Amino acid sequence: MHLPLLLALLATSALAAEVTIDITNPVECTRKTQAGDSITVNYRGTLPNGEEFDSSYKREPFQFTLGKGQVIQGYA
């Protein structure tokens, strides 16, 4: 494994341990999501000091399929 990839994985793992989720638009659904569902979300990533490092609000919403390993653990 290359060192940059290893460092990126370690950083992602460390950051994922401190992920919090704020629900800004709660929606009541008659069916809960399940593996194989395609969902579309907006997100905003901030550092502990409040500095924004990424946001889908500046681009298109983020779309992925649940249960396919397309996002970091804890995201969905």
Contact present, 40 and 63 (Cβ < 8 Å): yes
Residue 8 lies in a domain: no
More confident residue, 66 or 12: 66
Residue 36 lies in a domain: yes
- Residue-level pLDDT at 34: 92
Structural domain range at position 51:
25-68
Closest by CA position to 23, among listed 42, 51, 36, 5: 42
- The answer, as to whether pTM is greater than 0.75, is no
Residue 16 lies in a domain: no
Residue 39 lies in a domain: yes
Residue 52 lies in a domain: yes
d(CA 72, CA 56): 16
Residue 14 lies in a domain: no
d(CA 17, CA 14): 5
More confident residue, 13 or 51: 51
Q: Residue 1 — pLDDT band, cuts 50, 70, 90?
A: very low
User: What is the count of structural domains for the chain?
Assistant: 1
- What pLDDT, in 10s, does the model give residues 22-59? 788 888 889 988 999 999 988 888 888 889 888 899 89
Enumerate the β-bridge partners of residue 64.
39
Residue 11 lies in a domain: no
